[in-house]
Amino acid sequence: MTHPTFAEAHRAIEEEETSCEALVSSFLETIDEKNDALNAFTAVDDEGALNHARYLDSQRERGNARPLSGLVLAVKDNICIRSFPVTCGSKMLEEFSSLYDATAIQRLREAGAVFIGKTNCDEFAMGSSNETSHFGPVKNPVAPDHVPGGSSGGSAAAVRAGMCHAALGSDTGGSVRQPAAFCGTVGLKPTYGRVSRYGLVAFASSLDCIGPMANSVEDAALLLETIAGADPNDATSADVDVPAYREALDGGVDGLRVGLPKEYFTEGLDPDIERMVRAQVETLSDAGATVKEVSLPHTEYGIATYYVLATAEASSNLARYDGIRYGFRADLQETKDDIRERRAELKKELSAARSNGNDERAADLRTELDEQQSVLDALYTRTRTQGFGDEVKRRIMLGTYALSAGYYDDYYEKAQRVRTLIRNDFDRAFEEVDVLVTPTTPTPAFCLGEKTDDPLEMYLNDVYTVTANLAGVPGLTVPIGTHPGDPPLPVGMQLLGRHFDESLLFRVGQVVEDQVADDERRAEPDRR
Amino acid sequence: MPYDAYEPVIGLEVHVQLDTESKIFSPDSTAFGADPNAQVDPVSLGHPGTLPVLNGRAVHHALRLGVATHAKISRRSVFARKHYFYPDLPKGYQISQYDTPICYDGYVEIEREDAPSSPDEEAGDDADPTRGASLKRVGLTRIHLEEDAGKSIHPEADAASLIDYNRCGVPLVEIVTEPDLRSPHEAYQFLEKLRQIVRYLQVSDGNMEEGSLRCDANVSVRPRGHSDFGTRTELKNLNSMRHVEDALAYEITRQIAARERGASVSQQTLLWDPDAGVTRPMRTKEEAHDYRYFPDPDLVPITVDEDRLDAVRASLPEMPDARRRRFIEDVGLPPYDAGVLTEEREVADYFEETLQQVFKRTKGGDTQAQAKAVSNHIMTDVLRVLNEDDRSVDDLPVTPERLAQLVYLRLQDRVSSSAGQEVFERMMEEPEKSAGKIADEYDLIQVSDRDAIESVVASVVDENEEKVRTYLDGKEGLLGFFIGQVMQRFDGSPNPKLVRELLNEHLERRRAEA
């Protein structure tokens, strides 16, 4: 398996060894060859991508090369590209196309990137295995009977399988980092507010982030550099300067203070993953970093807090999918017929109950008749029942409950307070250290179908990633090699930093990437 | 029926559309009267991935309204999502404000109908001294910002409903009053006052017919002297000030009748049917809505610091009550004139501009009389024309400068009062001509040439010996006859005051000679 990077492609284009068109053609071939098996893409824009590539080549010949000319990107199917479908992995939006470019897309487009297609994902980004997609699960390119992780599973698989240089995903509780770790790619969840959310279909607005997924730290840095920055279309985007992230890559780790949060190395963590992470930390220490254990005491409340807040916001954000203006709508005639039939049935039963003198039953039936839904309400119910999958419905119900009168204080309000405590944990930790190192996931990729029957087990997979979203801090996952189990699966290590300090994460990530490459080179002769 | 044994208690919820170029959370236009669904972008339509961005202008308007109604301003207020499903609500929630309205605890003053019934209704110490204790304060519980929904249309002949999303996202303030109103007329007065305020501030055109000011009313009755509230009903579909007054009157009578019968009033929402003149229960089920409010994570809190508040205060125009007071105390107008002239900001502006133009010409003298002269012309000529043609003073062809020319002619006695009215009419037709030119062209200048008038007067007196004798014998009513003779014989329009003066002079001279 080749792991194409844009950095390499850029060099090749500069030296006229290749062209944008050739790159796109080659990726299209790979997609053609692998996508049936992997199901990573929900839409591939062959013609559009080729045309765009040819245009970029012709511009280049005229001396108008764009900075990202030759970058071929896959985009998670919950990010809007004008006139592309944006299904969000849902039947609800199966036929829906966007009218506009997300801000991140617009910035990439201006920089010369080519969008080759939209990638499969968990429905409305709700899932950790890509199995909740209406369009079927994505397979892990490393081991096809394993999940690629989620929700940005299609993006991770596409990057890993060489179907594009890099991809955009979205991360609400780990949806970039976990699949990146499962597939063996680099993945970044930026600081909340670093990248505009305009055009990212909302799951949980206070947690959602668009993030890059790539085959190298350098490519991820380049992507962030392009998409980051304040946006007048997103009131929550931050007006904080965007540094030249790539220039920070070679800074090394000498003198850096690295923290190991003890709560991330406890029960439930795969021992091999722990060993591999600790080995990397050892190497960082050898490279001049000081390492110390720190504590993030409220970590254990992360999952509960996350699932209250994320589902509450989701229940609100997904209210717009009602079948009235766009997207899936249940059959109106069927809806009307059903109401009519049920009404006739109730009336028949009512008169029977009355003639039998069963007053109690008659009263119940009368009430049911009186409370029968209007056609409009029935259409809403039917549309949302048929248009959403089980996991989405589960979360809408959970979130609706958390926001209900009488429960709001106990759930939403309390979760907000815990969120503050978790943020404070990080603030305190970052007084002692510059970067935190943790495993990205407690286990490597699991088997397809392994956790689909147990939502709670599935949610626990996000235990190391949700806290960064709750605190708003950036998190970068970098591949650190292969798990010794069978099959040999990728393992990722997570680096967490201060708000808006992505530079430091890239710097440390580059050191780790180089270490891992060295390890692999050393290991290779043995295999021969 | 012992109607007087009961006291109505009324509170209003008023929605005012704020006058902004674009919507509260998107760049769409808010202009009234566009084709249906012509002013809808993906944000207004709640398309996937779109985000609201707050229009600063809407906040500024809300703050101005708050300051003008003596309200407290929240230093930090947040937007909340209010959830319910309806086809004209694209996101499945309305962005509104819940526990932190941008303004709260304000009041508006209206004319008091009766003597205060309890001490807590007494006007405050800073009550308008030109009105004494006749003012009543109506408390404003809160003023909050929110977005409007679309408009559903249910054509009767059609099974399908239509929705126009142009109105979606138009900025609104919701103003909730305390239950301080005690009669339908007070409710009417309150709305009139509120409309005057929003128009003065130019935050809204306050037009109820176009829906830029909408009102729901909560009303209950209680035996006079009791302090507990009765069960209230909510009245909707009140599409004009008159409807508000009529619906409340009907509903109060209905509630009293029910209580007199021994029946109870049930808490419900009623629709006013203006054609039948009755309120009817709304047909939709009265569900106890759980709106599941929570802070909108897409928006940041509105923060208002002292600097911003100072800027808002500085941006306020002189409000109607203060202006009225100034017109009485400083300009010297009678209270009635001051009230009429300050009803609309544009008319008051017109008055003041005209007065300045008059002052430029008179350069001193009796300014109070000059003001009264301007006031007379506006109250008679200008307002009559505006009412007849239903237009605004801004569209009047006669500019303040032109009107000032006319007033000046009158002050100099160069045109008579009736000629003045004619000059005004002509200026409406020929706005490019000055008042003096029109008076000249149409021969409306009155002659004040003493010698010319005196020669005619002398000849009239000479030629009517008999009548003069009768006059001098005590039949002074004959003066009118002499005046008529002079006017008839005179070539042009003699100044009637001068004619009278000279006649008197000549007649008295005869008396002395006799």
pTM for the full model?
A: 0.90
Note the pLDDT of residue B116.
46
Q: Rounded to whole angstroms, how far apart are CA atoms B158 and B144?
A: 37
Instruction: Look at residues B268, B288, B307 and tell me which one is the last residue of a structural domain.
Output: B307
Q: Does pLDDT of B514 surpass 80?
A: no
Residue B194 within a domain = yes
- Are B84 and A321 in contact by the 8 Å Cβ rule? The answer is no
Best residue in A81, A209, A322, A413 to probe B by mutation, most B CBs within 10 Å? A322
> Cβ contacts of residue B401 below 8 Å, gap of 6+?
B354, B357
Q: What is the ipTM of this complex?
A: 0.95
pLDDT above 70 covers a percentage of chain B that reads 94
Q: Rounded to whole angstroms, how far apart are CA atoms A327 and B329?
A: 66
pLDDT (tens digit per residue) in B283-304 = 655 556 899 999 999 999 999 9
pLDDT (tens digit per residue) in A17-64 = 999 999 999 999 999 999 999 999 999 999 999 999 999 999 999 999
Of A442, A86, A511, A59, nearest to A285 by C-alpha is A511
Note the pLDDT of residue B125.
47
Question: How many domains in chain B?
Answer: 3
**Is B172 found in the same domain as B48?**
yes
B297 touches A at CB < 8 Å: yes
pLDDT (tens digit per residue) in B146-166 = 999 999 988 887 778 899 999
Using CA atoms, how far residue A23 sits from A10, A115, A163, A164, in Å, is 11, 12, 10, 9
Domain range holding B470? Answer: 448-513
Of A514, A479, A478, nearest to A496 by C-alpha is A478
Residue B222 within a domain = yes
Note the pLDDT of residue B113.
67
**Is B167 found in the same domain as B248?**
yes
Q: How far is B151 from chain A (nearest CA, A)?
A: 14
DSSP string, B213-270: EEEEEEEEEEETT--S----EEEEEE-SHHHHHHHHHHHHHHHHHHHHHTPPPP--EE
Q: Does pLDDT of B375 surpass 90?
A: yes
Q: Rounded to whole angstroms, how far apart are CA atoms A313 and A416?
A: 12
Instruction: Look at residues B444, B467, B502 and tell me which one is the last residue of a structural domain.
Output: B444
Cα-trace Rg, chain B: 31
Work out whether strand B269-273 and strand B76-77 pair parallel, antiparallel, or are unpaired.
Answer: unpaired
DSSP letter for A444, please.
S
Residue B88 within a domain = yes
Residue B313 within a domain = no
Note the pLDDT of residue B114.
58
pLDDT (tens digit per residue) in B73-86 = 999 999 999 999 99
**Is B378 found in the same domain as B366?**
yes
What are A454's two structure tokens? 């147990």
Chain B residues with CB under 8 Å of A206 CB are 297
**Is B125 found in the same domain as B238?**
yes
**Is B291 found in the same domain as B394?**
no
Q: Rounded to whole angstroms, how far apart are CA atoms A239 and B460?
A: 92
**Is B56 found in the same domain as B125?**
yes
Q: Is residue A237 reached through a cis peptide bond, with omega within 30 degrees of 0 on the bond before it?
A: no
- The B residues from 61 to 90 touching A (CB cutoff 8 Å) are 81, 83, 85, 87, 90
Chain B residues with CB under 8 Å of A234 CB are 51, 53
Q: Do A201 and B93 touch (CB under 8 A)?
A: no
Q: ∠A160-A161-A165 over CA atoms, to 5°? A: 65
B497-506: Cβ within 8 A, 24+ apart: B497/B413, B498/B448, B498/B450, B498/B453, B499/B453, B499/B457, B502/B450, B502/B453, B502/B454, B502/B457, B503/B457, B503/B460, B503/B461, B503/B479, B504/B479, B506/B457, B506/B458, B506/B461
Q: Do A400 and B91 touch (CB under 8 A)?
A: no
CATH of the domain at B491: 1.10.10
Which of left, alpha, beta for A193 (phi over 0: left; psi -120 to 50: alpha)?
left
What are B479's two structure tokens? 């003066």
**Is B438 found in the same domain as B483?**
no
Strand partners, B494: B447
A308 touches B at CB < 8 Å: no
**Is B82 found in the same domain as B22?**
yes
**Is B365 found in the same domain as B247?**
no
What are B446's two structure tokens? 């009155």
**Is B188 found in the same domain as B48?**
yes
| Tokens 């300067």, located at residue | A241
Note the pLDDT of residue B120.
46
Q: Do A235 and B54 touch (CB under 8 A)?
A: yes
Best residue in B22, B298, B300, B302 to probe A by mutation, most A CBs within 10 Å? B298
Instruction: Look at residues B253, B284, B307 and tell me which one is the last residue of a structural domain.
Output: B307
Reduced to 3 states (helix: H, G, I; strand: E, B; else coil), residue B505 is: helix
Note the pLDDT of residue A450.
93
Q: Do A235 and B51 touch (CB under 8 A)?
A: yes
> Cβ contacts of residue A75 below 8 Å, gap of 6+?
A81, A84, A105, A115, A117, A118, A119, A155, A167, A168
**Which residues of chain A fall below pLDDT 50?**
1, 528
Note the pLDDT of residue B495.
82
DSSP letter for B22, please.
B
**Is B209 found in the same domain as B186?**
yes
Strand partners, B108: B138
Residue B130 within a domain = yes
Which element (helix H / strand E) includes B284?
none
Residue B468 within a domain = yes
Task: List the single range of A372-381, B1-10, B144-153, B400-409 with lowest mean pLDDT.
Answer: B1-10
Residue B312 within a domain = no
3-state secondary structure B372-402: HHHHHHHHHHHHHHHHHHCCCHHHCCCCHHH
- Are B201 and B68 in contact by the 8 Å Cβ rule? The answer is yes
Note the pLDDT of residue B93.
98
**Is B262 found in the same domain as B197?**
yes
Mean pLDDT of chain B: 90
What are B346's two structure tokens? 């544009």
Note the pLDDT of residue B288.
63
Residue B150 within a domain = yes
What are A367's two structure tokens? 């009430």
Q: Do A404 and B46 touch (CB under 8 A)?
A: no
Q: Which residue has the higher pLDDT, A307 or B453?
A: A307
> Cβ contacts of residue B385 below 8 Å, gap of 6+?
B396, B428
Which of left, alpha, beta for A192 (phi over 0: left; psi -120 to 50: alpha)?
beta
Q: ∠B283-B284-B285 over CA atoms, to 5°? A: 115
